[in-house]
Amino acid sequence: MALGIADMAVFCKKKGFVYPNSEIYGGISGFWDYGHLGSELKNNLKQMWWKFHVHSREDIVGIDGSIITHPKVWVASGHVESFVDILLECTKCRERYRGDQLVEDVLKISADGMKADDINKLVRENKIHCRKCGSALGEASPFNLMFSTEIGASGGLKSYLRPETAQLIFTNFKLVEEHARMKLPFGIAQMGKAFRNEISPRDFLFRCREFEQMEIEYFIHPNQTGKCPFLNEVEDMEVNIFSAEMQENNKPHSPMKLKDAVKKKIIQTPWHAYFLGLEISWFTSLGVNQQHLRARQHLRTEKSHYALDTWDLEYKFPFGWKELLGMANRTDYDLKAHSEHSKKDLSIFDEESKQKVIPHVVCEPSLGVDRAFLVFLFDAYNNDEARGNIVLKLHPKIAPIKVGVFPLVNKLDGEARKAFESLKRNFYCFYDRSGSIGRRYARADEIGIPYCVTIDFETLKDNSVTIRDRDTTEQVRVKIDGLPSFIEGLINGKPFGR
């Protein structure tokens, strides 16, 4: 039977990946704590994201902005006025529902972006009642998702925990452009916590009230929208495309080369196609099956008012295709809004065109770390019936523990410890001497350790050890001296056994 989201939550708790927050006090909905393996996996995937998007290129630099900021930031960005979901409350038991989700669940239609009036109409017309007690639902109303707080001892200034990381990129835009000496086109990346008081957090890590995002705002000269110098890197990639037109006509998604999607104007700018290709290749380079990903265009009704074109990268979760990453073309909306509200000029001088411009954000790839974490786990999870245990086939680069070190018998403890000490200078390793060797392999498989090293009696004679590959169970003998570079090679993609 396919693994459901609740099964994944159970697995994550049992193996020390993720725990329900404050469970000893009964827990609190929408908050999760990462355990020792979970925090390793999360840190690894964040590092890999930063390396791929920032360190390996010249046109993107990073910042790390604060969580609480001046409240005027959230007025200018429009969050104070319109960062809302539609709330429905039961008139009897007071159970609360997110309007669009309830309508989607009951009527099996897309309700993303619907206003309170539309939800009210659908609730009345379809006689939708409280799912818990069956009573009538009250009038739908907008509910602002920002957590508010007060700054200072006298509590004089009301502000908010940031609901997204992006706005800090806009407020620091001019400083970064100047100090990092960036020239258009360029991007600013950021990762960190975001907070949303979700009406109904659910589906484990998929919808939390505290989560992390990894975002890029990519700025271009406004007259360069049609020219992306990087498109050739991804244009031949075949991607599952689910355009607005396909959705409106009830057609399924279909594979298409990115260059064809641009040529046919399905994807409006080559930049959007480039970033879709880039983000998909980040996931696939770390082991995600591309068939589990698709690019879905926002329908006119769900697009934010400022966005020219928006695509979501969706993943095939056990509860359906759902957003993993959002990618809006935000034009100059945010820089203009902050210029107007702060009365500071946020335009920059573009040396190539010799013009002062307010750059356009042609694409804003915004990925939830916790959703990405779930994707890597779902794609890696294998219940290997032949082996009789779960094999978590995480890519070695993100696997929490890279190497398991085992003495075949306890008598070899001293020798095995020596190998362990030398390996742990290079990799995060795990030493295990309890139980049969088969049981130790199974334990390592279940937490995704890609390589296990066993020290046996031969080791005493020839200074070599057995190394086992998690995914194939293939084994080869390697000299202890060469072990770190052998493992380094494997992590970087060298085929096993060579």
Which residue has its beta carbon closest to ligand ATP? 368
- Residue 65, classified by CB atoms within 10 Å of its CB into exposed (0-12), middle (13-18) or buried (19+), is middle
For the CB of residue 362, give the shortest distance to ligand ATP in the complex, in Å. 16
User: What span, in angstroms and rounded, lies between the C-alpha atoms of 53 and 55?
Assistant: 6
Half-sphere exposure of 481 (CA within 13 A, CB side): 2
Q: Closer to ligand ATP at the Cβ: 164 or 415?
A: 164
Q: Closer to ligand ATP at the Cβ: 364 or 445?
A: 364
The backbone region for 354, taken as left when phi is positive above 0, alpha when psi lies in -120 to 50, beta otherwise, is left
Query: Is 211 an interacting residue with respect to ligand ATP (CB under 6 A)?
Result: yes
What letter does residue 32 receive in the DSSP assignment? Answer: E
For the CB of residue 247, give the shortest distance to ligand ATP in the complex, in Å. 15
Member of 239, 261, 278, 325 binding ligand ATP (CB under 6 A): 325
Element (H, E) at 454: strand 451-455
- Residue 185, classified by CB atoms within 10 Å of its CB into exposed (0-12), middle (13-18) or buried (19+), is buried
Q: Where are the beta strands (DSSP E) in 103-232?
A: 141-144, 148-151, 157-160, 186-195, 210-220
Q: Closer to ligand ATP at the Cβ: 44 or 213?
A: 213
Q: Closer to ligand ATP at the Cβ: 267 or 324?
A: 324
Member of 370, 432, 445, 456 binding ligand ATP (CB under 6 A): 370
Query: Is 192 an interacting residue with respect to ligand ATP (CB under 6 A)?
Result: no
Q: Closer to ligand ATP at the Cβ: 67 or 151?
A: 67
Q: Are 365 and 399 in contact (CB under 8 A)?
A: no
Q: Closer to ligand ATP at the Cβ: 202 or 257?
A: 202
Q: Which of residues 147-166 bind ligand ATP (CB under 6 A)?
A: 164
Query: Is 324 an interacting residue with respect to ligand ATP (CB under 6 A)?
Result: yes
Q: Which of residues 247-306 bind ligand ATP (CB under 6 A)?
A: none
The backbone region for 141, taken as left when phi is positive above 0, alpha when psi lies in -120 to 50, beta otherwise, is beta
User: What span, in angstroms and rounded, lies between the C-alpha atoms of 82 and 69?
Assistant: 18
Dihedral (Cα; 17, 22, 26, 27), 10-degree rounding: -60
Query: Is 368 an interacting residue with respect to ligand ATP (CB under 6 A)?
Result: yes
Member of 77, 243, 366, 464 binding ligand ATP (CB under 6 A): 366
Q: Closer to ligand ATP at the Cβ: 143 or 420?
A: 143
Binding segment for ligand ATP (CB under 6 A), chosen from 154-162, 171-179, 287-295, 360-368, is 360-368
Q: Which residues contact 147 (CB under 8 A, 6 or more apart)?
A: 160, 161, 195, 196, 197, 209
Q: Closer to ligand ATP at the Cβ: 7 or 323?
A: 323
Binding segment for ligand ATP (CB under 6 A), chosen from 41-49, 207-215, 427-435, 486-494, is 207-215
DSSP for 149-162, written as a single string: EEESTT--EEEEB-
Question: Would you call 417 helix, strand, or coil by DSSP?
Answer: helix
Q: Which residues contact 68 (CB under 8 A, 6 or more apart)?
A: 149, 151, 159, 160, 161, 162
Query: Is 323 an interacting residue with respect to ligand ATP (CB under 6 A)?
Result: yes
What's phi and psi for 356, nearest 5 deg? Answer: -90, 125
Query: Is 207 an interacting residue with respect to ligand ATP (CB under 6 A)?
Result: yes
Binding segment for ligand ATP (CB under 6 A), chosen from 41-49, 247-255, 364-372, 383-391, is 364-372
Structure tokens of 195? Answer: 């907070």
For the CB of residue 42, give the shortest distance to ligand ATP in the complex, in Å. 13
Member of 87, 128, 208, 234 binding ligand ATP (CB under 6 A): 208
For the CB of residue 89, give the shortest distance to ligand ATP in the complex, in Å. 19
User: What span, in angstroms and rounded, lies between the C-alpha atoms of 253 and 21?
Assistant: 38
Query: Is 196 an interacting residue with respect to ligand ATP (CB under 6 A)?
Result: yes
For the CB of residue 138, give the shortest distance to ligand ATP in the complex, in Å. 22
User: What span, in angstroms and rounded, lies between the C-alpha atoms of 214 and 301?
Assistant: 26
Query: Is 371 an interacting residue with respect to ligand ATP (CB under 6 A)?
Result: yes
For the CB of residue 10, give the shortest distance to ligand ATP in the complex, in Å. 19
Element (H, E) at 96: strand 96-98
Q: Closer to ligand ATP at the Cβ: 331 or 466?
A: 331
Binding segment for ligand ATP (CB under 6 A), chosen from 317-325, 440-448, 453-461, 467-475, is 317-325
Q: Closer to ligand ATP at the Cβ: 206 or 406?
A: 206
Q: How many residues bind ligand ATP (CB under 6 A)?
A: 16
What letter does residue 66 receive in the DSSP assignment? Answer: -
User: What span, in angstroms and rounded, lies between the C-alpha atoms of 152 and 13?
Assistant: 38
Q: Closer to ligand ATP at the Cβ: 192 or 448?
A: 192
- Interface positions with ligand ATP (CB under 6 A): 164, 196, 198, 207-208, 211, 213, 323-326, 366-368, 370-371
